[in-house]
Structure 1
Amino acid sequence: MNILVVCAVTEAHKAQIRAAAGDNTVVFTAGDLSGTAVPVDVEKLAAAHVIIGNVAPPLLKHAKNLKWLQLNSAGAGSYVAPGVLRPGVFLTNATGAYGVAVAEHLLSQLLMMMKRLPAYCDNQKAEVWRDEGPVEGVYGSTAIIVGFGDIGARFGKALKAMGAHVIGIRRRSTYLVPEASEMGTMDKLVDYAARADIIASALPDTAATRGVFNKNFFAAVKKGAYFLNAGRGTAVDQDALCDAVENGRLAGAALDVTTPEPLPAGHRLWQTPGVYITPHIAGGLHLLHTQNEIVNIGVRNLRAFLAGEPLINEVDFTTGYKK
C-alpha cells in the first residue's frame, strides 16, 4: 500500500509515521506550515492508497486508487462537495488538534483589545508617554462562544478560569460541560447576543452557518461588546460588522478569518478603525503542539486503517462535521 504524506512534518514525525506504516511504502512531500491544501505531483496522487494531509480538492480526481484521506485540518467543507472524493473513500479530519493554538490566539486578541495595546504600540512608535484611559477585563464578564467544540471549549475554559460567565453555543445539545457555565443552541443566538460582553465564533463553513452574524445579530448585541472570529469568515456579514464597530455597538473586532482570503487591498475591513486582522494563522501548523497532535491523530488512524479497525474523526459527508 502506498501512503502519501503532504502536510509539514518533522523528522521525528516521519519516524512515527514510518513505524505505523510497517512494510507499506511512505512518500513525504514538502508540506506548507500554513496547513492549507498544497499542489502535489499527479503521479504521486495516482499511486496513493492513503493520503495524510490536505491536497487541493480539484487534484483529487487524479487519486484513482485512494481509499482514505486523513486531513490535517479540522475543516472538511471543500472535501465533502459532490465529486471531490469517489464514493467509498473514507474521510477523516484533525478535530482536536487545534484547540490549544486557536484558543491562545483568541485570548491574546481579546486582551489586546480590552487593554488598548494597539494604542500603546502606536504611542511607542511616536515616542509618546501617554495614559490611554480605562480598560476592560475578562473577570465578571459574560462570554458567548459560538461553536463549542474543541476550540470553543478550550477558549471557554480559559475565560472561565479568569472569572467570566461562559455560555457555550452548539447546534442542538444543551448538555452542560465543565468548560462552560451555561449552554445554549444556535436558534437562540440573537437572544444570547444581548447578554454578551464577549462574542467568539469557532464555527465551520457550512450552509447552516453562513451569514449568522448579520445586521440583525449585531443590532441585538450588547453595546460595547468585543467580537472575535477564528472559525470561518463566511459566518459574518462583514459590512454589518464594520457598521457595528464604526457606530460603537462593538468596542472592537478581531478576525483571524475573512471572506475572501486573502483579503484584497482596498477592502473595507482593512480600513475600519477597531477591526484587527490576522491572516488565518491562529491554527495552521505554526505551533509544534498542533503538528504533534495532527500526527498523533494520523498515526492512530493509520494503525487502525491497516488493521481494518474503525477510524476516529470520520467526517459525515452530509454535514461536513465529524460524525
Structure 2
Amino acid sequence: MRCVILDDYPGVATSYADWSVLEGLETQALREHLGDEDAVAAALSGAEVVVAMRERTPFPASLLQRLPDLRLLVTTGMRNASIDLDAARAADVVVCGTSSLPTPPVELTWALVLGLARHLVPEVDAMRRGGPWQSTVGADLAGATLGVVGLGKLGTRVAAVGTAFGMDVLAWSPHLTDERASAAGVRRAGALTDLLAVADVVSLHLVLSESTRGLLGERELAAMRPSAFLVNTSRAGLVDTDALATALQQGRIAGAGLDVFDEEPLPAGHPLRTMPGVLATPHLGYVTEGNLRTHYTEALADVVAWRSGEPVRVLT
C-alpha cells in the first residue's frame, strides 16, 4: 500500500510522527504544491491513503474519479471545504480529520496587528540597509477600538488579548447575541458597518460560506476609517481582494495584515506581495511545531485505526 502526504511545505511530516509503524505502507511526503488536477492525479496514482493539509489541495468529484485506488483521505482539521464529501462517499473513500490547536492563528493575528501598528517591516528594513533612524510613528493600541468580526473560538481569544492591551473591543457576527458578547467581555455591534466605522483594527474570524463570501466589499471597506488596519488570518474569500487592493492604493485604509489569499501559494508577481501598507505572510496561521505535531500524529493515528478496522474521525 502507498500513502502520500501533500503540501508538507516545511518538510516535517515524517519527523513529527513515526510513520514507520505502518508496516507494509510506503509513505511519501511531498513538499512542493501541485498546481493543477493533472499533477495531483499523477502524483497520487496508486495511492490508497492520502494525507492532505486543510484546503491546500482541492479534492473535487472530478479528481476523486481519477483516483480509483484511494480508500482513505485524511485532512488536517475537522473541516475542509475543498473536499467534495458527497463524491468521496460515492467513491467509497473514507474522509477523516484531526484536531487543531486554537492558539497559533490567534498569536499570528496579533503578530500582524503589532507589525502594522508599529511599522515593523519598514523599520527593520531600514535598520538592515543602514537607512533612516526612526522614520515612522507607531499607532497606540491602548485606548483604541478593536473590531472582531466573528466571536467564535478564535475571535473570543483575539478579543481577550485586545482587552489585555487596554483596547475597547467591539464584536459582530450574523448571529451574535448581547449575551454571548457580554460573556466574552466585549460589546456587540448592531451591524457590520457600525463596527467598521469606529474600529482602529478590524480582525476577521468567520467561517467562509456562501453567506460570508465577499462580506467585506467596496461598500464595507469604504465604511472603515482611513487610519484603520484590516487583519485577515481566516479565509481570503471573506474579502473582495480587488476592492481591498483599491482601498489600499487610494489610502482609504492605513494597511492590511494578510495571511490568506485567493490563490496559494501567491504568485511571485502578485501586487499583494509588494504593495505598501500590506504585511503579508504565507499562510502561517497554523504553522507551529505544536500544531503540526498534533496534525501529523493524529493523521497517523487515523491511518492506524482505519487499517485496524477501528472508528476514525469521519467528516460529515
Confirm or deny a common fold (TM above 0.5): yes
1:121 equivalent to 2:121? Answer no
Per the alignment, residue 155 of structure 1 pairs with 158
SS at 2:279 equivalent? strand
Deviations 1:157-180 (A, max 9, x none): 333332333344445353637994
Sort the Cα spacing of 1:266 and 1:198 in 2 relative to 1 into closer, same or farther, 3 A: same
- Return the offset for 1:221: 1.7
Sort the Cα spacing of 1:3 and 1:154 in 2 relative to 1 into closer, same or farther, 3 A: farther
SS at 1:250 equivalent? coil
- Return the offset for 1:25: 5.2
1:76 equivalent to 2:80? Answer yes
Q: Identity, % of aligned pairs?
A: 23
- Return the offset for 1:211: 1.1
- Return the offset for 1:96: 2.7
Per the alignment, residue 13 of structure 1 pairs with 17
Aligned length: 300
Q: State whether residues 88 and 94 of structure 2, in contact with CA within 8 Å, keep that contact through their aligned partners in structure 1.
A: no
**Inter-partner Cα distance in structure 2 for 1:209 and 1:147:** 11
Amino acid at match of 1:128: G
* Aligned partner (choices 112, 117, 133) of residue 115 of structure 2: 112
**Inter-partner Cα distance in structure 1 for 2:17 and 2:162:** 33
Per the alignment, residue 91 of structure 1 pairs with 95
Measured on the aligned residues, the alpha-carbon RMSD in Å equals: 3.8
**Inter-partner Cα distance in structure 2 for 1:183 and 1:307:** 49
1:53 equivalent to 2:56? Answer no
Per the alignment, residue 32 of structure 1 pairs with 31
* Aligned partner (choices 241, 250, 272) of residue 253 of structure 2: 250
Q: State whether residues 149 and 204 of structure 2, in contact with CA within 8 Å, keep that contact through their aligned partners in structure 1.
A: yes
- Return the offset for 1:267: 4.2
Per the alignment, residue 44 of structure 1 pairs with 47
- Pairs within 5 Å for 1:227-246: 227-246=230-249
Amino acid at match of 1:253: A
- Pairs within 5 Å for 1:137-286: 137-174=140-177, 176=180, 180-182=184-186, 188-264=191-267, 267-270=270-273, 272-283=275-286, 286=287
**Inter-partner Cα distance in structure 1 for 2:64 and 2:198:** 45
**Inter-partner Cα distance in structure 1 for 2:305 and 2:180:** 32
Amino acid at match of 2:133: R
Identify unmatched segments of 5+ residues in structure 2.
none
Sort the Cα spacing of 1:200 and 1:60 in 2 relative to 1 into closer, same or farther, 3 A: same
**Inter-partner Cα distance in structure 2 for 1:280 and 1:189:** 25
- Return the offset for 1:212: 0.9
1:100 equivalent to 2:103? Answer yes
Per the alignment, residue 296 of structure 2 pairs with 295
Comparing 204-213 with 259-268, greater Cα deviation is found at 259-268
**Inter-partner Cα distance in structure 2 for 1:265 and 1:11:** 29
Per the alignment, residue 321 of structure 1 pairs with none
Amino acid at match of 1:210: R
Amino acid at match of 1:71: T
- Return the offset for 1:13: 1.2
Sort the Cα spacing of 1:129 and 1:161 in 2 relative to 1 into closer, same or farther, 3 A: same
Sort the Cα spacing of 1:269 and 1:259 in 2 relative to 1 into closer, same or farther, 3 A: same
Amino acid at match of 1:290: N
**Inter-partner Cα distance in structure 1 for 2:312 and 2:46:** 29
SS at 2:256 equivalent? strand
Per the alignment, residue 3 of structure 2 pairs with 4
Deviations 1:270-323 (A, max 9, x none): 45321222232333xx42111122135435656776565473xx544xxxxxxx
What TM-score results when the alignment is normalised by the length of structure 1?
0.74
**Inter-partner Cα distance in structure 2 for 1:95 and 1:275:** 31
Q: State whether residues 153 and 179 of structure 1, in contact with CA within 8 Å, keep that contact through their aligned partners in structure 2.
A: no
What TM-score results when the alignment is normalised by the length of structure 2?
0.75
Q: State whether residues 3 and 52 of structure 1, in contact with CA within 8 Å, keep that contact through their aligned partners in structure 2.
A: no
Sort the Cα spacing of 1:63 and 1:178 in 2 relative to 1 into closer, same or farther, 3 A: farther
**Inter-partner Cα distance in structure 1 for 2:182 and 2:51:** 33
Amino acid at match of 2:29: A
**Inter-partner Cα distance in structure 2 for 1:156 and 1:296:** 30
Deviations 1:188-233 (A, max 9, x none): 3222212321112234443222211101111112341111112222
Q: State whether residues 167 and 180 of structure 1, in contact with CA within 8 Å, keep that contact through their aligned partners in structure 2.
A: no
**Inter-partner Cα distance in structure 1 for 2:100 and 2:182:** 17
**Inter-partner Cα distance in structure 1 for 2:203 and 2:258:** 10
Query: Runs of 4 or more off by more than 6 Å in structure 1?
Result: 33-38
